[in-house]
Structure 1
Amino acid sequence: MTTEKLPDWVPASGHQLRLTGVHFDAIRVRGVRGEAVLHHLATLTDGAPGPVVREVAGGRWTYFLIPPGTSYDFDWPPGATCFGPAARDQYVGIPAPHGNTYPLHWRCDPPVEGKFVDPELLHMVITAQLCRDPG
């Protein structure tokens, strides 16, 4: 894991819900589709796509963390859920960098202060993945 400074919204242990649109926005993709998006994103970024949280139970959601306020700059296709600044509160679970964080974990290294998934690149990859195979 990274030795650079973690943002203050990453908990020291366990996991905590964080309000989206404040420290980050998130784009959520379910199951194997989320993994496929992550695989392609990692390929395009030399293995460093930015902070990605994975749920290992239930829907097995993948959450791509992007800069706060940027999620509404794009028209996300069906299958990608946008969590950003909204009229109603939306939360995403954020795991600690180490220890028992079940059912969440960092699919990529925890975020470094100020670094996120590139929202434009993410939109391109998600659109290509989900529009190619809508079923």
Structure 2
Amino acid sequence: MNTESRQVNLDWIPASGFQLRKAGVQFDAVRVDGEDGRRLADFIEELTDGEPGPIVIESSGWRSVYFLVPAGSTSHRHWPRGTIRLNAGPCHVSYVPVPALHGLTWPLAWRVPPTPDSRFVHPVLLNKAACALLE
């Protein structure tokens, strides 16, 4: 394995600040607001020994938590009350805020940054954890 294969694909991560990314291209996201989102992030980190996949947190407003999952994995699945699916489909587009890995990104930050293996949060595990905590 060479060092190139260990690098994070940074094409969708901005160099500075933060940007909105169209869901359904590189990833979908599941948003959970407030303390419920933070409890779910704690739970999914515990279930995965601290390696759940990329999670973005917001420090103001709704204090949202964004769980980045593989593109196309949020549809055709029941999600509990309190979750918001950010994906794309016919006549529907969602955007996900993505912070840079370093520098000033307030009000967004990486709770868990992307990894070199480009693994996302496992959608079935996230769904089961959300159902256990939020229903």
TM-score normalized with structure 2 length: 0.90
1:7–1:112 contact (8 Å) kept in structure 2: no
Kindly indicate whether the alpha-carbon contact (under 8 Å) linking 2:8 and 2:114 is maintained by their aligned counterparts in 1: no
* CA shift for structure 1 position 6: 3.5
- Find 2:72's aligned residue among 44, 69, 75: 69
Amino acid at match of 1:35: R
Secondary structure of 1:107's partner? strand
What root-mean-square deviation, in Å, do the aligned CA atoms of Structure 1 and Structure 2 show? 1.4
Aligned partner of 1:103 among 107, 114, 117: 107
**Which whole-Å CA distance do the structure 1 matches of 2:115 and 2:76 have between them?**
22
TM superposition shift of 1:73: 3.4
- TM-score scaled by length of structure 1: 0.90
Q: Which runs of 4+ in 1 moved over 4 A?
A: none
Partner of 2:43 in structure 1?
A: 40
The match for 1:18 among 17, 21, 24 is 21
Q: Distance in 1 between matches of 2:124 and 2:10?
A: 22
Distance in structure 1 (CA, Å) of the matches to 2:43 and 2:69: 17
CA distance in 1 between partners of 2:79 and 2:92 (Å): 19
Identity of aligned residues (%): 43
Structure 1: give runs of 5+ residues left out of the alignment.
Answer: none
- In structure 1, distance between residues paired with 2:65 and 2:115: 15
The one of 58, 63, 81 equivalent to 2:61 is 58
Q: How many residues get paired?
A: 129
Q: Can you give the 5+ residue segments of structure 2 that lack an aligned partner in the other structure?
A: 1-5
